[in-house]
Chains A and B, each alone.
Chain A
Amino acid sequence: MKKIKIKVNGKFKTVLNNTKLSDLLNNLNIPIKKVAIELNQEIIDKKRTSNIKLKKDDKIEIVHFIGGG
């Protein structure tokens, strides 16, 4: 199966082509209820991550709350 390069939180990552976004989040151990996800600058509905298949050069941002003033 073909491998592709994507960027997750600014870092390159190699995954199989057509990997589901939900599988990537599972692999990264992301607590889905406590984060928000952007795919190529568009906010993703967290309920629909299994419908999204990753493509070459996709940029994913996973954010959460941290301490701040």
Chain B
Amino acid sequence: MEEDNLKKDKLVIAKKKFDSRLIVGTGKYKNMSECAKAIKLSGAEIVTVAVRRVNISNKKKPLLMDYIDPKKITYLPNTAGCFNSTDALRTLRLAREIGGWKLVKLEVLGDKKNLFPDMIETLKTTEVLAKEGFKVMVYCNDDPLMAKRLENSGADAIMPLAAPIGSGLGILNKINIQIIRKQTKLPLIVDAGLGQASDATIAMELGCDGVLVNTAIAKAKKPFEMALAFKNAVIAGRQSYKSGRIAKTIMGNPSSPIEGII
């Protein structure tokens, strides 16, 4: 019964349903077969992908689509490396053209060192994309006011950072994530900065609908084991959140009855 309830508990993004709440990035792996195997073990049904020039001088270079079947796994094209609205729009319009992708991840970065998002450019771009019929999942700061403005601009999912991209620091501002959770019914997905599986559990226990992980899996000493660890961590966190945790007290409370003590 409990297991059935969990099966019915789907992640819904832009009316599309997913069983897995873990989204993984496909960058930074040693090679494409390692990437494909890690994705399989993670159970992810959505993967982020980047749009880049085809290498026209090396015609035999392997293609991502030969390793990860876009009919089985949802590709989520991103705008990684874009620092302004013009480049981000150009990238996602091209991504849509490759094969009709409408579900996209927008990230407009503002600083090359800390990789924080430029929220002014991000807001502007979200509005344009929504008007063009894109379903936009938006990478953003863990700022409740900006998250609200994104929602009003037509975002389909809010993706606040846990910490700077690739930093592995885990969730730095749990309170902000909780405030964003309380104010929005949109899918809330923690994106960027997770370092280990327990960080994903914490994100889910804060009430997030999912997490997005790349570096923490791809750069772990054992990426396959870490992919599995993240899969389990997300499930554990979701179950824990849905189960309703006990209240915190500062004093002890014995687990065994006092009555009948000898």
Contacts of A37 in B (CB 8 A): 97
Name the interface residues of B26-65: CB closer than 8 Å to any CB of A: 26-29, 32, 35, 48-54, 56-57, 59, 63-65
**A-B contacts, CB under 8 A, total:** 99
How many of chain A's residues touch chain B, expressed as a range?
20 to 34
Q: Which of B75, B94, B214 contacts A43 (CB 8 A)?
A: B94
A36 proximal to B (CB < 8 A) = yes
> With contacts A64-B98, A68-B27 known, is A34 near B65, CB below 8 A?
yes
Q: How far is the CA of A42 from the CA of B118 in the complex (A)?
A: 26
Could you tell me if B26 and A31 are in contact, using CB atoms closer than 8 angstroms?
Answer: no
Q: Using known A-B contacts A43-B94, A63-B94, determine if residue A68 contacts B50 with beta carbons closer than 8 Å.
A: yes
Are A65 and B51 in contact (CB-based, < 8 A)?
Answer: yes
The interface-forming segment of A3-11, A15-23, A48-56 is A3-11
Residue pair B32, A67 in contact (C-beta under 8 Å): yes
Which of A34, A46, A69 is the one whose CB lies under 8 Å from B28? A69
**Closest Cβ neighbor of A29 among chain B residues:** B59
CB-CB under 8 A from B51, the residues of chain A are: 36, 63-66
CB distance A66 to B64 under 8 Å?
yes
Contact B65 A65 (CB under 8 A): yes
Chain B residues closer than 8 Å to A2, beta-carbon distance: none
- Which residue in chain B gives the minimum CB-CB distance to A44? B97
A67 and B29 contacting across the interface, CB-CB below 8 Å: yes
Most buried by B among A8, A43, A63: A63
Known pairs A29-B59, A43-B97; A67 contacts B50 (CB<8 A):
yes
Nearest A residue to B25 via CB reads A69
Residues of A within 8 A of B95 (CB): 36, 65
> Contact between A61 and B97 (Cβ–Cβ < 8 Å)?
no
Instruction: Using CB atoms and an 8 Å cutoff, list the residues of chain B in contact with chain A.
Output: 25-29, 32, 35, 48-54, 56-57, 59, 63-65, 75, 77-78, 80, 90, 93-99, 165-166, 192, 214-215
